[in-house]
Chains A and B, each alone.
Chain A
């Protein structure tokens, strides 16, 4: 076990972490604004992956180009799910909301299974195998591009939330939905947009990830659980926490895969999760507790 190997694993994890961040930011946005837990998060992600896969196969679009289209498509899916289903249970008890989203997750995952089959797939990308050497370490070009794109996507989201009127309203509704209603905000519209953006984030992450890792419908639920882990570790309702938590968990899993057995890497994030739940339930970067 050399230091180079560990540094290499940390670097790979770090570059992969942007995807985890994007995934978690989407979940955190939906939870922060609607107070609804999107159990279908990983399933939306898998649909993003399949869209990118189909676009690459039929139109020859590189996932690094098509991820915007996939995000737009998932935005629409998110809007539909919010308008048609989530909107009706906003005042229902938590467990009922969770069950509803579990139902959505089952439908989405198995729809993918019926349409695309159980085989694992991977999107074709021109940069799939390119690498650049950085001293003793090599940098996977696909991961580097992915990281840059997730960073750009997150930056655009940041500008939207903090510089645009709609973004400010979304943050206002997240802070205090009743107050937002009082100042005349259209809260129902805000909820729809926020859910759509959350779905778009995870759709973009799914499209980009499809070029890096093989995926299948069965990957959906584990991705949902990973997103939850990250959001809890980073701090529920904190978008920056979710972003940093994504990178942290990706690095931890990558190191875990080298130090333990690769198939045990998820154990690292679960143990991290249990520790956080017990000793710092507000998460690493989550300041306020509700």
Chain B
């Protein structure tokens, strides 16, 4: 398995030299959504705390670094960590309120949706942040301002983000916190009874997850060159974030990556081919049907099945 991943990585490293600009974009989206999915996976997959408001962290991170870059000329390379910290703070507030008052399942989901919507409404009414129209970044091509004229740089940054998130989640998996998180997901009351600090564990998970997602916000803003409250904080982005880990297999290291390699090209293809024909809703119908099919037929996601398949073949 390890050498297989090594070869895959090697291929991904040399791949940009052989790709046209369209395929390069597809890969950038694959990596970026895998990254966001991995950040969500930490809280939702390993910890079992489903957030349907993760777009709020993308939005806060993106707006923070972009605002700092536009008003103070602060490099987004620094701003991305400030944005991540701001998102982590929001995550801490949501986590503190939600977990302190013991909100579970549906109630927690609703709390995350409510906070994302509150953020969206507030930002849409702040003149300093461009209001409902949003912020537009002017292109200068300055690498220090996170701008590149060659798409290949974005490719490597997105790849780096994805690999970093994998490294972080793999490290968390090996620590005590990873074990605690899984325990909380499987049976919160039992793990509490066994002495696990469930409140602290969940809080740490949401803060780390929000930080990573917030850092991703800077990439989001500087790759798209514009930010609108309805897209950066919107429910559709939150849905995009949770789809990949769940389709790939939530609570597994490879799940978000696999999910993104399945879904992102599908989304991109259907968006560019179906939407061009004026059928803007079709790709979301495909998405919805896929989601229904996954829940009915592969409730654990694609990765566990694939892994079992590999193991069986190895045993034979």
Contact = CB atoms under 8 A, between A and B. Distances in A.
Interface stretch (B10-18, B154-162, B210-218, B278-286): B278-286
B289 interface: yes
Contacts of A104: 288, 292
A127 interface: no
Nearest to A114: B281
Interface string B104-118: 011101110111011
A278 B96 CA distance: 11
Interface in B216-262: 235, 239, 242, 246
Interface stretch (A65-73, A132-140, A264-272): A264-272
Contact of B282 (A110, A277, A278): A110
A165 interface: no
B56 to A, nearest CB: 12
B295 A92 contact: yes
B311 to A, nearest CB: 24
A110 B118 contact: no
Interface centre among B97, B115, B285, B295 (most CB of A within 10 A): B295
B291 interface: yes
B206 to A, nearest CB: 16
A288 interface: no
B287 interface: yes
Given A277-B101, A278-B101, A106 B291 contact: yes
Contact of B106 (A37, A103, A217, A278): A37
A99 B118 contact: no
Contacts of B111: 274, 277
B299 interface: yes
A111 B279 CA distance: 10
A99 B295 CA distance: 7
Contacts of B284: 106, 109-110, 113
A105 interface: yes
Contacts of A221: 235
Given A261-B125, A264-B125, A270-B117, A277 B110 contact: yes
Interface in B72-97: 97
Interface centre among A109, A221, A277 (most CB of B within 10 A): A277
A180 interface: no
B296 A85 contact: yes
B266 interface: no
B103 interface: yes
B50 interface: yes
A228 interface: yes
A88 B113 CA distance: 26
A286 B298 CA distance: 36
A228 B110 contact: yes
Nearest to A265: B121
B137 interface: no
A217 to B, nearest CB: 7
A277 B121 contact: no
A229 B117 CA distance: 12
A267 B123 CA distance: 12
B163 interface: no
Contacts of A228: 110, 113
B14 to A, nearest CB: 37
A281 B107 contact: yes
Interface string B2-13: 000000000000
A106 B287 contact: yes
Contacts of A99: 242, 246, 291, 294-295
Nearest to A267: B121
B37 to A, nearest CB: 14
Contacts of A107: 285, 288-289, 292
A95 interface: yes
A59 B291 CA distance: 37
11 contacts: A89-B296, A98-B50, A99-B246, A103-B295, A106-B284, A110-B284, A111-B285, A217-B281, A229-B110, A229-B114, A270-B121
Given A107-B285, A110-B285, 15 more contacts: A37-B106, A95-B105, A98-B106, A99-B242, A100-B291, A103-B288, A103-B292, A104-B288, A106-B239, A106-B285, A106-B287, A114-B282, A228-B113, A274-B111, A278-B101
Interface of B: 44, 48, 50, 97-98, 101-103, 105-107, 109-111, 113-115, 117-118, 121-122, 124-125, 235, 239, 242, 246, 279-282, 284-285, 287-292, 294-296, 299
Interface of A: 37, 85, 88-89, 92, 94-96, 98-100, 102-114, 118, 217, 221, 225, 228-229, 232, 261, 263-264, 266-267, 270-271, 273-274, 277-278, 281
